[in-house]
Amino acid sequence: MENLPPPKDNDESSLPGLPEMDEQHRYLLKLFDRIEQSFTVTRQAALAALLPEIEGYLHFHFASEEHLMRHYRFPGFPPHQSDHEAAAARFVRFLDDFEANRLNPGALRIFLRGWLLDHGATADREYAAWIAACRENFFKSKS
Ligand SMILES: [Fe+2]
């Protein structure tokens, strides 16, 4: 497990498709790739620095998406926000495990990457398409 390269092939194809949000997804994936791929923590200090960066940026990212969805009155906002809340709650349980010295970093990495790739390719694509259409209509109506 330790020597396997991260499966990057899916990364670009699972982006939401809205340039400013795609950049946030790329940064999150870059952070997730720094989580060690082992069953137990071997680099305590590195994780102690990395986890707050992931937590902070993840919340910033969710807030950014939710702000955009509200601004453009995306009809699928409530279930999308629930998805974010469920992922954030699961992440908090991993943080609790880290605090209690029982974190499985490999499992955390698999969860975060898997969740973001799946969510990005499905739920995020829906709001991204909605926003792209809203923006197109905006410019049409102003021309
Ligand atoms: Fe999202």
Condensed to tens digits (0 to 9), the pLDDT of residues 37-93 reads 999 999 999 999 999 999 999 999 999 999 999 999 999 999 999 999 999 999 999
Measured CA to CA, the distance from residue 35 to residue 60 in angstroms comes to 19
Q: Which CATH number, 1.10.20.10, 2.60.40.10, 3.40.190.10, 1.20.120.50, labels domain 25-35+44-142? A: 1.20.120.50
Measured CA to CA, the distance from residue 78 to residue 97 in angstroms comes to 29
CA of 12 to the centre of ligand 1 (A): 16
The tokens for 37 are 């791929």
CA of 67 to the centre of ligand 1 (A): 11
132-142 mean pLDDT: 89
> How many percent of the chain have pLDDT more than 70?
92
- Which one, of 114, 87, 105, 100, lies nearest residue 41 by Cα? 105
DSSP state of 38: S
CA of 42 to the centre of ligand 1 (A): 31
Query: What's the chain's Rg over C-alpha atoms?
Result: 17
Residues in Cβ contact with 88 at an 8 Å cutoff, skipping those fewer than 6 apart: 58, 59, 62
> What mean pLDDT value characterizes the chain?
93
CA of 3 to the centre of ligand 1 (A): 30
pLDDT value for 13: 86
Residues in Cβ contact with 27 at an 8 Å cutoff, skipping those fewer than 6 apart: 57
Answer whether residue 116 shows pLDDT above 80.
Answer: yes
CA of 77 to the centre of ligand 1 (A): 10
DSSP state of 6: P
